[in-house]
Structure 1
Amino acid sequence: MHLTQLNCECLLHLFSFLDKDSRKSLSLTCRRLREVFLDPRLWSLLHFSSPCQLRRDNYVLGASLRFLTIFWYSSRVQQVCNIEDWLKSSLQKTICSKHERLVSTFLAHVCYMCPNLLSLTLSGCAHITDQDVIAVLKSCRRLRCLRLENCVRITDCVLEGVVAHGTSLEEVQVDFCRNVTQAGLQLVREKRPDVQLGAEMSAGMIPDSLPDERLEIRRTLQKVLQFS
């Protein structure tokens, strides 16, 4: 029996063992396998290990997507992307400009095309904003699990969005997000006690502050030292 003589369910099962690139390559061999590749049922789970993978045409976004993960473990995240914009050199800004909108644009597509998403994990996505995540909460009303790790632009606004729009959320994690505060975490605990909340290191880290804010803090400290 030739591979293409198998029924659709068998082909979908075989495709499920392949990574995205292998699925794409196999789909280019004939029309029958191309149809299997485009079948939304094949794409209930998507995992990306860097934002650059979002540019590839080797996956399908659709209403069948349930679990989405974008991990980016790279020295670039720590040395470039995690730095406050006002401290970045021209070279660092140039590097960021090539990818800073990738994840945000992708999440915008998810909002329109994946209303049945159940779980979203974003790790090391330094350029995503509160509004990117809140847009997902508003569009994907069945979302049960939200995990954010080392996303430096995320603030208490996301936690306010969890309270306002995350009606189906059961678990929320905001680990190593330095601009999340105890006040934001307490809001979720009070308003949504049913949500399992985790925040490793987040509220204990030094938050970002604008240069003028740092100057005011320094002046205040100097006055305190003078009169103490």
Structure 2
Amino acid sequence: MHLTQLNRECLLHLFSFLDKDSRRSLSLTCHQLRGVFLDPCLWTLLHFSSPCQLKRDNFVLGPSLRYLTISWYSSRVLQVCNIEDWLKSSFQKDICSKHENLVSTFLAHVCHMCPNLLSLTLSGCGHITDQDVISVLRSCRKLCCLHIENCVRITDCSLEGVVAYGGSVKEVKVDFCRNITQAGLQTVRHKRPGIQLSAERSADMIPDSKPEVRVPLRRTLQKVLQFS
């Protein structure tokens, strides 16, 4: 029996066991299997393990998406992306420029195309901002689970967005986000007590603080002597 002789339900079941690349490869063999690849039922869950995967054409993004995970576990996250911008060398900035907007651009597409999203996990996405998270909260009003981990640019503004726009949100995790504060967590607990909130290490980490430009002591003494 040839594969294409199976009915659509069986083909969808077989496709469900394949990863994104295998699904795409199989879909290129004939129009029938391409139609199965494009079936929304097959794309309720998407998991990406690096930003570069977001640029591939091996998945379908649409209203059927319910669960989205973008996790980047890489030494580059710790050594480059999660370093304060004012401390990065030109070489580090050049590395970041190649992928800095990938996740933000992808999340913008999610806002426009995936209104039924229920769960979003962002881990190691060092370049996403509060505005990216707030945009998802405003567009995906059914979102009930938000997990953000090791995202250096996320601040209490994202928590304020949960309070303001996350009417359906039931669970929030902000782990290892050093710019989340105890005050921000307390605001969520006070205004949305029904949310299951956890923050492993986030509010205990040292937040980013751009050093002030200090006048050298010698120059300061010279000015004092000059005007005394």
Superimposed CA distance per residue, residues 108-147 of structure 1 (whole angstroms, 9 cap, x where no aligned partner): 0000000000000000000000000000000000001000
Alignment partners' CA distance in 1, 2:192 and 2:7: 47
Q: How many residues align?
A: 216
The residue that corresponds to 1:62 in the other structure is: 62
Higher-Rg member (1/2)? 2
Quote the RMSD (CA, aligned, Å). Answer: 1.3
The residue that corresponds to 1:82 in the other structure is: 82
**Corresponding position: 1:199 with 2:208:** no
1:5-20 pair list within 5 angstroms: 5-20=5-20
Alignment partners' CA distance in 2, 1:135 and 1:101: 15
**Cα distance, 1:211 vs structure 2:** 2.3
**Corresponding position: 1:184 with 2:177:** no
**Corresponding position: 1:23 with 2:23:** yes
**Cα distance, 1:10 vs structure 2:** 1.0
Alignment partners' CA distance in 1, 2:173 and 2:104: 19
**Cα distance, 1:2 vs structure 2:** 1.6
Paired amino acid for 2:97: S
Paired amino acid for 2:53: Q
Please give the TM-score of this superposition, normalised by the length of structure 1. 0.93
**Corresponding position: 1:143 with 2:143:** yes
The residue that corresponds to 1:224 in the other structure is: none
Alignment partners' CA distance in 2, 1:121 and 1:193: 21
Alignment partners' CA distance in 2, 1:100 and 1:11: 38
The residue that corresponds to 2:122 in the other structure is: 122
- The answer for unaligned runs of 5 or more in structure 2 is 218-228
Alignment partners' CA distance in 2, 1:89 and 1:148: 27
Please give the TM-score of this superposition, normalised by the length of structure 2. 0.93
Alignment partners' CA distance in 1, 2:116 and 2:75: 34
Paired amino acid for 2:145: C
Alignment partners' CA distance in 1, 2:27 and 2:91: 40
Task: Tell me the secondary structure at the aligned position of residue 63 of structure 2.
Answer: coil
Paired amino acid for 2:126: A
**Cα distance, 1:5 vs structure 2:** 1.6
Paired amino acid for 1:37: F
Question: Which range moves more in the overlay, 1-10 or 70-79?
Answer: 1-10
Superimposed CA distance per residue, residues 142-182 of structure 1 (whole angstroms, 9 cap, x where no aligned partner): 00100000000000000000000000001000000000001
**Corresponding position: 1:49 with 2:13:** no
Superimposed CA distance per residue, residues 12-40 of structure 1 (whole angstroms, 9 cap, x where no aligned partner): 11000000000000000000000010111
Paired amino acid for 2:200: E
**Cα distance, 1:8 vs structure 2:** 1.3
Alignment partners' CA distance in 2, 1:162 and 1:46: 23
Paired amino acid for 2:105: T
The residue that corresponds to 2:221 in the other structure is: none
Alignment partners' CA distance in 2, 1:212 and 1:109: 38
Paired amino acid for 2:172: V
**Cα distance, 1:188 vs structure 2:** 0.2
- The answer for unaligned runs of 5 or more in structure 1 is 220-228
Alignment partners' CA distance in 2, 1:209 and 1:60: 40
Identity %: 80
Alignment partners' CA distance in 2, 1:141 and 1:25: 34
